Amino acid sequence: MAHNSSESALRRLLDFIPSFEVDLKYATNDNITNTVVPGYEGLPANGHRDPANVWVHPILGRRLAAAQRTLEATAGPAGRFIIFNSYRPARAQWALAAACPDPAYVADPAAGGSQHSFGLAIDLAIAGAPLCTPFDTMAPEARPDAPPPNDAAGAARALLHAAMTSAGLKVNDEEWWHYSVTPEVGDEPVPVLLDIALSALATDTNRSAGTTTPAGIPALADLCSNGMATSAACLSGAEETVLAPIYLRLTEKRDFSRLLYANPVCFLATRRPDGDGSGANVMTLSWLTCVNNSGLFMFSSNKRRFTAACLLACPEMVLSVPCSGMEALVLAVGKASGRNGDKLEQLRSAGLAIDSTATSHRHGPLEQSSDELATLSSLPLLEASVGANPLGAVRGTVAWMRATVLSIGEADADHHLVMAQIQSAAVHPHYWNGKHFAPKPGTNAPPYLAFLGSQTLVHTKAPVPPVAATLPSFPPILGRCL
């Protein structure tokens, strides 16, 4: 499968380091769950010892190659690493968190999960050397600054730390074996490729360093259409029968961005990463910014929010734009947390529902003339992505956009910076004049909403025609000015 450079994904560590030992604990019963961890099953016999099953993001792979060179310079040609864990499927994070719910040791998957699931973290030691503690010891003695059990173990830990930090890798405060890298400006984007089982990756036998993205990894846009193990079904549709949709499909990418030029408040619908993946989550997105004129945009997401876990688990979303009359619902969705249960059920009485076809304005704020309904053909809201039902938009909204996450970076200690691309979009005809997304004069279409902060919403009304520039009129000048 072909990929472009913006979708750089996982690579075998063998592409960066030709020789290392492996003991993938999560592919065995020798781990904190006492069984093979989800996402690690299905490997061949002794697959936990096969270096070909160690996957990393190229950003981490290059740093590990530098660390290996430092290790060999210090310990000689025989110096090498033993790998316990590298890339970790997202489903594994949920299983590990269930076995050890302490976020000091296992990152909360509902709060953004682990850097392992991006291929940006690795658990390792010096091969053949004594360990300060067994791997995944959840106790103070596992700290990198804890007193070692003996001099040999302490020296091996110090050797590991020197090699890794020389390459710009950072050790975890609670685990001497855990190192990670933070992407820098100029690095490849970090894609959302977080729930591909190791057995699926292992079907690709190409270990060439020239293979930027292994054939076993689907393109970001294909992740949901091809199916993801944690997302067996899509967002649920409305219980009531939906009338024929009345949206106009936008066909030009330059028009996709126009739906966001005014920075409207949006509902952001995703799939829940827990359960069987058939549940929906909806959040209120107050700030987002176009990056270009072809549907690329970015927004920040609080790492502690449940939506962050949803986006990390599946890179597909639907944005939909609410209008006047939906202010209370916008604020209610923003206050509720999907972590506390199904948000659609929590807010059903407030009018929150997701339609699997375009919004029925029988339930929304607009009315259609019979002529409009006769000329607009039935338009599926979205192509089916996973399972039988498509993603959906919040009922009563006036425009929708299906988007795919391209990368999730770090904005600051508390926020992800999400870059996404609109794949398809549609708008109610009362809000589109072929160039601008705004209520058309004479249609009585309610304005859509924007955000001022402090739970204050404002209305985006019809555009003001540009005023032609005119020069002031002066009396004729007699004679000639010198």
Topology match between the domains 5-217 and 222-460: no
Q: What is the pLDDT of residues 271-319, one digit of tens each?
A: 777 655 567 788 888 878 888 988 899 988 888 888 787 777 777 888 8
Opening angle at CA 228, ends 223 and 230, nearest 5: 140
User: What are the residue ranges spanned by the domains of the chain?
Assistant: 5-217, 222-460
- Please name the fold of domain 5-217: Muramoyl-pentapeptide Carboxypeptidase; domain 2 (3.30.1380)
Residue 189: per-residue pLDDT: 55
Which pLDDT score, from 0 to 100, does residue 176 have?
97
Is pLDDT larger for residue 181 or for residue 459? 181
Residue with the bigger pLDDT between 347 and 143: it is 143
> So what's the pLDDT on residue 331?
86
pLDDT at 259 over 80: yes
What is the pLDDT at residue 211?
32
The mean pLDDT of 359-363, rounded to a whole number, is 30
Instruction: With a cut of 50, say whether residue 462 has pLDDT above it.
Output: yes
pLDDT beyond 60 at 198: yes
Q: Is residue 410 predicted with pLDDT exceeding 60?
A: yes
So what's the pLDDT on residue 275? 59
Mean pLDDT calculated for residue range 452-470:
60
Mean pLDDT of 238-256: 57
Q: Homologous superfamily of 222-460 in CATH?
A: Electron Transport, Fmn-binding Protein; Chain A (2.30.110.10)
> For position 147, what pLDDT does the model report?
96
Please, what is the angle between helix 151-166 and helix 58-75, to 10°?
Answer: 130
Mean pLDDT of the chain: 74
Averaging pLDDT over each range in 214-228, 357-371, 440-454, which range is the top one? Answer: 440-454
Indicate if the pLDDT at residue 207 is higher than 60. Answer: no
Average pLDDT of the residues in 106-122: 81
